[in-house]
Amino acid sequence: MIVLSSRRAAHDASRRFPFKARRMLGVWLFLSGAAGAAYADAQAGYTLPPPPSELYGDLFVAVQTQGIYPDQKTFVDATPKMDPAQIVQAYHQQMTVPGFSLAAFVAQYFTPPTDQSITPPPNQSLREHIDWLWPELTRLTTTANVPPNSSLIPMPKSYVVPGGRFREGYYWDTYFTMLGLQEAGREDLVDNMLDNFAYLIDTIGHIPNGNRTYYVSRSQPPFFSYMVELAAQKEGGRVYQKYLPQLRREYGYWMQGANTLQAGGAVRNVVMLPDKTVLNRYWDERDTPRDESYSEDVNTAKQVTDRPANEVYRDLRAAAESGWDFSSRWFGDNQTLTTIRTTSIIPVDLNSLMFHLETTIAIGCGEARDFGCVGEFVGRAAKRAIAINKYLWNKNGYYGDYDWKLGQPRNNPSAAMLYPLFAGAAWPDRAHTTANTVEAILLKPGGLVTTTFNTTQQWDAPNGWAPLHWIAVQSLKRYGRGDLAQQIGTRFLADVNNVYATQQKLVEKYVVEGAGTGGGGGGEYPLQDGFGWTNGVTLKLLDLYAPGQ
């Protein structure tokens, strides 16, 4: 279990990073429950360390600022060879000695993460390659094999990582990976990852962005309810009841502070509009540069002259929670990262996912025969659907985001417009209009473009992403536009096939505009291959639109 090893440790943890104290108390309480017993043997005695930025202080800043590693994520994934306090002490003793080399010091005291590149056998078909990739991307990182003071958070069961630089499990990626695992008959891995996420909710208080200590201060788009639904489709309604406690705890995390809000205010992930409508936003507990992108965030904040750096850091982190890091969706001018205002925006995707979470809790309560709970969450879902159709409908003919600080819709059409259809919260006439808008402005030769703005950010044009294609296909089929769904799905499949035929790999994102479709670009790091959610969605689309391939 994730526990504090002593009263002194609890005191030190509270002093160093007070916002974790509540979580650690929750962990202690978890130990006394029946759910905790299921994981106690595998995780006994584990103490969640602070993130690397706190463990190493000015050493961390020096390493990231001087670019000792080309990728800022490398150092925060590295493993210390001795107690961090001793490493910091050695650094302070040596840093002023003539001839001191920071690169040599880091090499002496840290072990960098191992290379994850893979070489598949030759002449695999696309389907064969995906089947071959599942075990290559599967990890088991319990307390038995995670080194002390690693940033990696142990989990009790095996899980699938995206691949490339992404050496850990990611929250929303996992749902789309699960789609392919279930299609491939790997229900065991689907159940394992559900249990891992239930474990994280029970021990940390929510599902972090990924199972790294530097991700704990935020979550990601809440797809846990969709994961439960996916398992229930194969295993029956008991799955809803099994994970009902975690569904409710996750809901509590996202709604924390809602009961104390006043009209026009916001706290954490919750916003109350002037008419007392309550909706959600993306947020991060910290307002410092991200550990894994320290230099990038510092450089961005330096270019902003009209507001404090900590506000910029919070908005950058909140965009990371959205999974769309980064996109014109969060930019004040729809073009420039320095105008980022994520926490001022009520996102259409997040609130659609929250609607699904509410309806899933109602189903779980029905399985448990708790009919008071059923009524409560049916009512919550109904209120949210009304709010989505009031505030997140753009008069230009699509569902979109709303700037609650400016009190107006965001005129930035994106593939996120399909989320209300995906969750079933869209009004039928508006779903039809949204589908027409998708067809008119987002459908491209290689599939669905992410937004209509080309900003050099990865979650903008000309890129398309596997998860957004699956959401589009399911959404449009749900509202009677199977024809458009098939166009989107088959065009994206052709793009994936083209890249695989020329490069023998599946990648994180794809260019969908123009005749020369291929692997996508933009963002903070090179194009990654592997790739968990692309594998999952591609396998589903193959079985849907090209079953013989």
Q: Consult the annotation and say whether 524 binds a ligand.
A: yes
- Give residues with Cβ within 8 angstroms of 271, minimum separation 6: 261, 265, 278, 279, 280, 281, 346, 404
Per-residue pLDDT, 518? 85
In a domain, 432, yes or no: yes
Q: Report the mean per-residue pLDDT for the chain.
A: 92
Per-residue CA distances from 218 to 171, 225, 278, 518, 540 (Å): 11, 18, 20, 32, 30
In a domain, 183, yes or no: no
Residue 489 has pLDDT above 50, yes or no: yes
Tokens encoding 444? 């491209």
Q: Consult the annotation and say whether 323 binds a ligand.
A: yes
Decide if 410 contacts 342 (C-beta within 8 A): no
Helix and strand totals (H; E) in the chain:
23, 17
168, 191, 315, 508: the catalytic one is 508
* CATH number of the structural domain spanning residue 522: 1.50.10.10
Q: Could you tell me how far CA 408 lies from the centroid of its own chain? A: 27
Per-residue pLDDT, 43? 55
Per-residue pLDDT, 219? 98
- 328-342, 441-455, 513-527: the lowest-pLDDT one: 513-527
Residue 164 has pLDDT above 50, yes or no: yes
Decide if 364 contacts 247 (C-beta within 8 A): yes
Q: Is 325 a catalytic residue?
A: yes
- Give residues with Cβ within 8 angstroms of 234, minimum separation 6: 182, 187, 190
Q: Is 187 a catalytic residue?
A: no
What is the mean predicted confidence (pLDDT) over 27-42?
Answer: 35
Q: Consult the annotation and say whether 172 binds a ligand.
A: yes
Q: Roughly what angle, to the nearest 10 degrees, separates helices 34-43 and 21-31? A: 100
At residue 110, φ and ψ (nearest 5 deg) are: -135, 145
Decide if 66 contacts 58 (C-beta within 8 A): no
Decide if 367 contacts 340 (C-beta within 8 A): no
Give the helix/strand (H/E) hosting 447.
strand 447-448
Q: Consult the annotation and say whether 165 binds a ligand.
A: yes
Decide if 455 contacts 336 (C-beta within 8 A): yes
Distance, CA of 326 to CA of 456 (rounded, Å): 9
Instruction: Note down the domain range covering 155.
Output: 7-125+133-171+197-221
Q: Consult the annotation and say whether 219 binds a ligand.
A: yes
Q: Consult the annotation and say whether 236 binds a ligand.
A: no
Per-residue pLDDT, 8? 31
Task: Provide the strand spans (E) within 164-303.
Answer: 266-267, 270-272, 278-280
In a domain, 399, yes or no: yes
In a domain, 470, yes or no: yes
Q: How confident is the model at residue 117 (pLDDT cuts 50, 70, 90)?
A: confident
In a domain, 526, yes or no: yes
Per-residue CA distances from 23 to 13, 14, 43, 221 (Å): 11, 10, 16, 20
In a domain, 215, yes or no: yes
In a domain, 509, yes or no: yes
The sign one gets for the Cα dihedral 238, 244, 247, 251 is positive
Task: Tell me the CB-side half-sphere exposure of residue 265, using CA atoms within 13 A.
Answer: 9
Give the helix/strand (H/E) hosting 448.
strand 447-448
The three-point CA angle 404-23-282 to 5° equals 20
- 34-48, 298-312, 502-516: the lowest-pLDDT one: 34-48
At residue 113, φ and ψ (nearest 5 deg) are: -65, 150
Decide if 34 contacts 73 (C-beta within 8 A): no
Per-residue pLDDT, 45? 61
Per-residue pLDDT, 5? 30
Residues 72-94 pLDDT 10s = 999 999 999 999 999 999 999 99
Distance, CA of 230 to CA of 330 (rounded, Å): 30
Q: What is the DSSP letter of 405?
A: T
What is the mean predicted confidence (pLDDT) over 8-33?
Answer: 33
Residues 199-242 pLDDT 10s = 999 999 999 999 999 999 999 999 999 999 999 999 999 999 99
Q: Report the percentage of the chain scoring pLDDT > 90.
A: 87
Distance, CA of 249 to CA of 243 (rounded, Å): 10
- Domain boundary at 205, 221, 237, which? 221
325, 349, 358, 401: the catalytic one is 325
In a domain, 102, yes or no: yes
Per-residue pLDDT, 525? 84
Q: Consult the annotation and say whether 322 binds a ligand.
A: no
Higher pLDDT, 518 or 451: 451
Total domains present in the chain: 2
